[in-house]
Amino acid sequence: MDYSDKVMDHFSNPRNVGEIENPDGLGEAGNPKCGDIMKIYLKVKDGPGGAVIEDVKFKTFGCASAIASSSMATEMIKGKTVDEAWAMTNVAVAEALDGLPPIKMHCSVLAEEAIHKAINDYREKHGLEVIPIREFDHESAPRA
Amino acid sequence: MQNVYLDYSATTPTDPEVLEAMTPYFTEFFGNPSSIYSLASKSRAAIEKARGQVAAALSAQPEEIFFTSSGTEADNWALKGAFEKLRSKGNHIITTKIEHHAILHTADYLEKTEGASVTALPVDAEGKIRLDDLKAAVTDKTILVSVMFANNEVGTIQPIKAIGEFCREKGILFHTDAVQAAAQVPIDVNELRIDLMSLSAHKMYGPKGTGVFFMRRGVKLENFVHGGGQEKGRRASTENIAGIVGMGFAIEKMKARMPQEKARLTALRDRLIDGVLKAVPHAKLNGARGEERLPNNTNFSFIGIEGETLLLDLDSKGISASTGSACTSGSLDPSHVLMAMGLSHEQAHGSLRMTLGRGTTDEQISYVLDVLPAIVSKRRSMSPLWEDYQKKTGEK
C-alpha cells in the first residue's frame, strides 16, 4: 500500500491518542468484523462564539489509514466550535492527509461519522436536537 | 537498521548459482527447442536435464514432469483438465476450504460455468482436514480430490499419504498443491500415492514464471494450454528454457540441502514461536506445532490490532512480513484460511505471518523478538478493541 508521507507521519506518530474521562461527547463508528473501530472523545466548553471543542482524543482499531484519519481529523477539529467541527467532511480529512488510496477512503468517512456521533452525543446531553448523520455502509463498500 | 526478510512463503530470492546456470539460456543458447539445428539441441538437452532433476527430487519419472508458467497454471490444469476429461463419469470435485485461490477460484469457475459440483471440506482448529469428512463426501460422481500438501498461511501439513491411499483405493484422482510444501519437506510421489501435483520455482530459490505439473503416467487429462506440440503435445508454448533450467537446478540444490536446512529452520521457527508467545501477552499461535507444521512457518494473532498496522510498523524496523487481514487482501473478509479454522474476525484481522528461509539467522530472530512486543503494545494502547478485550477478560 502506497501511502503519502502525511499518512505515514500521522500513522507513526498519531496525535490526540487516548481517552477523556467523563467526556462531553462520545462517538463510535465501524465494527470489528470489517476491521475498523473508531472512538472519539470530546471535551466541550462554552465560548463567546458558541460551544468549543476544548479537547479531543481518539482510540482506533484499524489499518494505517484509519489511524491517520483519526489523528488528522481530531487535529482539525480541536479548538473549533462544535458547529465548525460538524461541517468538516471526510474529503477535507483525506485532502489534509495528501490523499488516501481510493479503497481506503472509507477510513476518512469513519472519522467523519465518529465525530458526528460524538457531537450528537453532546447535543443530546444538552437537550439539543440530534442531527441525522450519514452512516458508512460497511457491508457493501469496496475495501482494501 | 537491520534488514530482516521474513516472507519466504510469498517468494524467495533467486539463488545466485541458479541465476548463473540460467543466464546462458537467455543470451547464448537461446535457440527454439523446436528447431532442428544444433543450437536448438542445446536448448532441448537443457530442458531434459531439468526434467530429470525435478523427477529425481520427487521420486517421479521424467516423462511425468511437465513445465508450466506457474503453480497457478498447474492448479488450473489439474482441475479443469480433470473435469473436462472425466465429466462423462461424474462432475463432483472435493477440495478444502483452506486451498490457495488458484484452486478455490478455479473450482468456483467450474461450478458456476461448467456444471461441476464442488465440496470444500472443513478443517479443524489447527487447519487439518479429517479423513472421515473426506470419506463421507465421496459420491459415485466424485472424479477428483484436491487437497493442498501444506497451507501457505498457517503451514499445516495435511495427511497426504492417508488421502492418497484412500483415493487410490477408490479409483479417484488425487491432486495436491505442493507449492509451499515442496520447498520445505521431502516428497515421494509414489509413497504418498499422488497422481497430480503442482509446484512453483520461485518458492524454492528459483525464478518466478516457472512451475511444474506432475502427472502420473497413465493419467489422462485434457490439455489446458492449446497450441504447438511442446511438452509432448500436452502443454503448448515455446519453452521458458532459462526458467526451466532454473527450476531444475533450484529443486536439486534444495533437495540436497533439505535435511540440515529443515532442522535449522525448525529450531529457529520454534524459538520464534516460543519467544513471541512468551513476550506478547494474549498472543495466539495459528496452526499446529511440531512435525505437522512447515519448518519455516509462523502465524500469530494479536487480538486488538489490525494486521496492516503491524506490517507497516515492522517495515519501519526493517522487517518484511505478511498478514491475513482484509486490509491487505483487497476484499471485505479477512483470510479464508483463518476463518475456516474458526478464528473470529478480530483474530483474523490481527494476524501476522512470518516465514523463514535460507537468509534467516538466529540474530534476526532475536531482533524480531526484541522489537515486536513493543510494537504490539503500542498499537494495542490505542485500540478500543483491546480496551474492550481487557474489560471482558479482567486483564490489566
User: How far apart, in whole angstroms, are the C-alpha atoms of residue B75 and residue B148?
Assistant: 10
Residue B290 reports pLDDT greater than 50: yes
Average pLDDT of the segment spanning B364-390 = 96
* Residues of A with catalytic function: 34, 107
Q: A61 and B330: CB-CB below 8 Å?
A: no
With respect to residue A109, please indicate whether it lies within any of the assigned structural domains: yes
Q: What digits encode the pLDDT tens for the residues B169-215? A: 999 999 999 999 999 999 999 999 999 999 999 999 999 999 999 99
How many domains does the structure of chain A reveal? 1
pLDDT band at A2 (very low <50, low <70, confident <90, very high): confident
Residue B221 reports pLDDT greater than 60: yes
Torsion angles phi and psi, residue B287, rounded to 5? 105, -175
Q: What digits encode the pLDDT tens for the residues B318-355? A: 999 999 887 655 566 789 999 999 999 999 999 999 99
pLDDT band at A134 (very low <50, low <70, confident <90, very high): confident
How many degrees, rounded to 5, is the angle at CA B360 between CA B357 and CA B366?
140
Residue B141 Cα to chain centre, angstroms: 28
DSSP secondary structure of B291-314: GGB-TTEEEEEETT--HHHHHHHH
Which residue among B312, B349, B381 sits closest to A35, beta carbon to beta carbon? B349
Q: Which residues of B touch A38 (CB under 8 A)?
A: 384
Average pLDDT of the segment spanning B161-174 = 98
End-to-end CA distance of chain A: 9
With respect to residue A131, please indicate whether it lies within any of the assigned structural domains: no
Q: B306 and A61: CB-CB below 8 Å?
A: yes
pLDDT at A137: 62
Q: What digits encode the pLDDT tens for the residues A11-43? A: 999 999 999 999 999 999 998 877 899 999 999
Grid coordinates belonging to B74: 498447474
CATH number for B16-254: choose from 3.40.640.10, 2.60.40.10, 3.40.50.10860, 3.40.120.10.
3.40.640.10
Average pLDDT of chain A?
91
How far lies B43's CA from each of A32, B24, B46, in Å?
A: 56, 10, 5
Which residues form the domain of A76? Answer: 5-125
Q: A37 and B385: CB-CB below 8 Å?
A: yes
Q: What digits encode the pLDDT tens for the residues A113-127? A: 999 999 999 999 999
With respect to residue A133, please indicate whether it lies within any of the assigned structural domains: no
Using the Cβ of A39 and the Cβ atoms of chain B, whether some distance falls under 8 Å is answered with: yes
CA-based nearest residue in chain B for residue A11? B309
With respect to residue A117, please indicate whether it lies within any of the assigned structural domains: yes
Q: B383 and A61: CB-CB below 8 Å?
A: yes
Residue A1 reports pLDDT greater than 80: no
Residue B3 reports pLDDT greater than 70: yes
Which residue among B306, B316, B331 sits closest to A62, beta carbon to beta carbon? B306
DSSP count for chain A of H helices, then E strands: 5, 3
Contact B22, B243 (CB under 8 A): yes
**Number of Cβ atoms within 10 Å of the Cβ of B17:** 12
Residue A142 reports pLDDT greater than 50: no
Specify the 3-state DSSP secondary structure of B232. Answer: helix
Provide the residue type at B364 as one letter.
Q
pLDDT at A143: 41
With respect to residue A70, please indicate whether it lies within any of the assigned structural domains: yes
CA-based nearest residue in chain B for residue A12? B313
How many degrees, rounded to 5, is the angle at CA B203 between CA B198 and CA B208?
90
Contact B201, B253 (CB under 8 A): no
Would you list the domain boundaries of chain B?
Answer: 4-10+258-393, 16-254
With respect to residue A142, please indicate whether it lies within any of the assigned structural domains: no
With 0-12 CB in 10 A as exposed, 13-18 as middle and 19+ as buried, what is B339? middle
Q: How many CA atoms lie within 13 A of A50 on its CB side?
A: 10
Identical fold at B4-10+258-393 and B16-254? no
Interface of A with B in 82-111 (CB under 8 A): 103
Confidence (pTM): 0.94
CA-based nearest residue in chain B for residue A14? B382
CATH of the domain at A79: 3.90.1010.10
CATH number for B4-10+258-393: choose from 3.50.50.60, 3.40.640.10, 3.40.630.10, 3.90.1150.10.
3.90.1150.10
User: How far apart, in whole angstroms, are the C-alpha atoms of residue B115 and residue B118?
Assistant: 10
